[in-house]
């Protein structure tokens, strides 16, 4: 049996950030990563799939120093984002949050980013087992001491004093591991079930005609497809290649929606369209004088011939049972966003915190530490997701028109709210009232005190 100080399940940005900091702190650290093949990666690695964009202040949240994020990973700097409704549009050129990064944001190579984080972790002394998966975890807690025995798919076992769960929104290991410490009244399996706590995302790498390629702006379409915060996007990458994708809730029923209200639905649909169909309709709608052949797939990228499907966490975060020597990081812990956009910044920061604290044998400080670091971000995201939950096409148009009249150089002022009239006041008050519901960390949906240790 192999014995280590810190075992980490998952080698994505959360797991590798944890490994980097744990090994840097002197802990004997092992990362177990099942390994996923990609068209654009030579070695097996984590499931490196998301839209791969960072806003300016997210780089600060990840605690990267100015210039620390490698330039070779940056595919494109961004100067803004466009939110496109059925009839109204909103252009944003500032996030409105202070940051040390000078641009609006950046698009980056997610697979190369994961490899960079792994290299940093290995340079610090961490070890990786890639190609093996964790099949079971048995935890033993005796007072202030704890140990975890991990069974691997190759038949071997690993024992660790501390365990960091970084297996992403699918939570294939996290749920059963955490449910060792829950009761039938409230189980993690009920709170973080991937079928109800996630969105599904699909994206394609497509080459965009030069005259259409907007190389420095993100584009999101809202109110054109049904589902809570369901939307398609175009993210510019290097050359004239873009990620064209979408996210939507799992398990929607076509009978719950009137196709005439949604631009990307058809009267002939007898079920919710597949992601591929939605994106084809989007391209035809936005660029009617072009054919799909003008947007060819770039087959040497992504997981499968220029395409990839992946889960995105779309629920509120949970605390970890740190008294058992366990920390949950990144997508595995949950974290709602109004845009359901992956969350690499959350994964990196929570991973770094968990690794540092495990190495210093101070993991009991983890829950307070991530709330101190990311609480305002979680609170904003949870609030926005609640505010827009009932929105349909008309409401998205109203919101974009109202916000457009309220924005003043990326900031809201009392005068700009009043100038937007009653709709501006209502939108502003809805946000403020809803946000109050999540003060004092109330955005957490499973607290440490609810575990039975």
The pLDDT of residue 428 is 72
The pLDDT of residue 402 is 84
CA 423 and chain centroid, separation = 31
Question: Quick check: 165 and 180 in contact, CB under 8 A?
Answer: no
Question: Quick check: 5 and 27 in contact, CB under 8 A?
Answer: yes
> Which pLDDT band, with edges at 50, 70 and 90, does 418 fall under?
very low
Q: Inter-axis angle of helices 421-436 and 366-387, to 10 degrees?
A: 150
Helix (H, G, I), strand (E, B) or coil at 197: helix
- On the 0-12 / 13-18 / 19+ scale of CB atoms within 10 A, 391 is middle
State mean pLDDT over 133-152.
96
Closest CA to 379 of 328, 318, 434, 425: 434
State mean pLDDT over 264-289.
97
**Distance from C-alpha of 371 to C-alpha of 414, rounded to nearest angstrom:** 29
> Which pLDDT band, with edges at 50, 70 and 90, does 417 fall under?
very low
Question: Among residues of the chain, what percentage have pLDDT more than 90?
Answer: 81
Residue 404 has pLDDT above 90, yes or no: no
- On the 0-12 / 13-18 / 19+ scale of CB atoms within 10 A, 222 is buried
Q: Interior CA angle at 103 toward 199 and 336, to 5°?
A: 20
Mean pLDDT over each residue of the chain, to the nearest integer: 92
Question: Quick check: 208 and 241 in contact, CB under 8 A?
Answer: yes
Radius of gyration (C-alpha) of the chain in whole angstroms: 22
**Distance from C-alpha of 93 to C-alpha of 216, rounded to nearest angstrom:** 11
- Backbone φ and ψ for 408, nearest 5 degrees, come out as -130, 95
The pLDDT of residue 75 is 97
> Which pLDDT band, with edges at 50, 70 and 90, does 184 fall under?
confident
> Which pLDDT band, with edges at 50, 70 and 90, does 423 fall under?
low
> Which pLDDT band, with edges at 50, 70 and 90, does 366 fall under?
very high
Residue 315 has pLDDT above 80, yes or no: yes
The pLDDT of residue 325 is 98
The string of DSSP letters for 279-340 reads HHHHHHHH-TTS-GGGS-B-TTSTTBTTEEEEEEE-S--B---GGGTEEE-GGGG----TT-
Q: What does the chain come to in residues?
A: 453
The pLDDT of residue 292 is 97
The pLDDT of residue 195 is 87
State mean pLDDT over 210-239.
96
Helix (H, G, I), strand (E, B) or coil at 185: coil
Q: What is the model's pTM? A: 0.94
Other beta carbons within 10 Å of 439 = 10
Name, in order, each residue with C-beta under 8 angstroms of 53's C-beta and a sequence gap of 6 or more.
Answer: 78, 105, 106, 107, 108, 218, 235, 341
Pairing of strands 36-38, 41-45: antiparallel
Q: Interior CA angle at 242 toward 238 and 244, to 5°?
A: 160
**Distance from C-alpha of 31 to C-alpha of 35, rounded to nearest angstrom:** 11
The string of DSSP letters for 192-211 reads S-HHHHEEEEEEEEEEPPTT
> Which pLDDT band, with edges at 50, 70 and 90, does 34 fall under?
very high
Helix (H, G, I), strand (E, B) or coil at 78: strand
Residue 408 has pLDDT above 90, yes or no: no
The pLDDT of residue 339 is 61
**Distance from C-alpha of 298 to C-alpha of 81, rounded to nearest angstrom:** 24
Residue 414 has pLDDT above 50, yes or no: no
Question: Quick check: 381 and 336 in contact, CB under 8 A?
Answer: yes
């Amino acid at each position: 049996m192999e014995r280590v100080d810190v075992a980490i399940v998952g080698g994505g940005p959360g797991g590798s950030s944890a490994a980097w900091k744990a090994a840097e702190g002197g802990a004997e650290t092992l990362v177990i990563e099942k390994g996923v093949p990609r068209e654009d990666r030579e070695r097996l690695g984590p499931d490196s799939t998301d839209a791969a964009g960072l806003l300016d202040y997210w780089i600060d949240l990840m605690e990267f120093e100015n210039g620390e994020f490698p330039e070779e990973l940056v595919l494109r700097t961004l100067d803004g984002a466009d939110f496109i409704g059925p009839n109204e549009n909103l252009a944003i050129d500032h996030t409105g949050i202070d940051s040390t990064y000078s641009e609006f944001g950046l698009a980056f190579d997610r697979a190369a980013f994961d490899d960079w984080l792994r290299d940093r972790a290995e340079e610090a002394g961490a070890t990786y087992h890639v190609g093996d998966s964790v099949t079971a975890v048995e935890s033993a807690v005796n007072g202030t001491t704890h140990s975890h025995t991990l069974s691997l798919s190759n038949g071997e076992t690993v024992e660790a004093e501390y365990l960091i769960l970084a297996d992403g929104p699918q939570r294939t290991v996290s749920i059963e591991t955490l449910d060792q410490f829950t009761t039938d009244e409230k189980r993690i399996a009920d709170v973080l079930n991937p079928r109800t706590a996630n969105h599904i995302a699909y994206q394609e790498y497509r080459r965009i005609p030069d005259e259409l390629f907007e190389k420095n702006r993100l584009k999101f379409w809202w109110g054109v497809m049904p589902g809570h915060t369901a939307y398609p996007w175009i993210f510019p990458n290097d050359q004239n290649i873009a990620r064209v994708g979408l996210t939507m809730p799992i398990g929607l029923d076509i009978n719950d929606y009137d196709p005439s209200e949604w631009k990307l639905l058809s009267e002939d649909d007898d079920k919710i369209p597949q992601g591929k169909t939605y994106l084809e309709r989007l391209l035809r709608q936005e660029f009617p004088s072009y054919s799909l052949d003008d947007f060819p797939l770039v087959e040497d990228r992504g997981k499968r011939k220029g395409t990839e499907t992946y889960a995105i966490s779309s629920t509120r975060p949970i605390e970890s049972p740190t008294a058992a020597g366990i920390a949950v990081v990144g997508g595995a812990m949950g974290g709602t966003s109004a845009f359901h956009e992956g969350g690499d910044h959350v994964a990196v920061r929570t991973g770094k915190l968990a690794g540092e604290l495990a190495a210093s044998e101070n993991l009991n400080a983890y829950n307070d530490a991530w709330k101190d670091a990311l609480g305002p971000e979680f609170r904003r995201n949870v609030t926005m997701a609640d505010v827009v939950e009932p929105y349909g096409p008309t409401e998205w148009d109203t919101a974009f028109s109202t916000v457009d009249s309220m924005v003043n150089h990326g900031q809201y002022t009392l005068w700009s709210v009043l100038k937007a009239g009653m709709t501006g006041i209502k939108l502003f008050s809805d946000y403020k009232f809803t946000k109050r519901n999540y003060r004092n960390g109330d955005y957490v949906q499973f607290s440490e005190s609810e575990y039975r240790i």
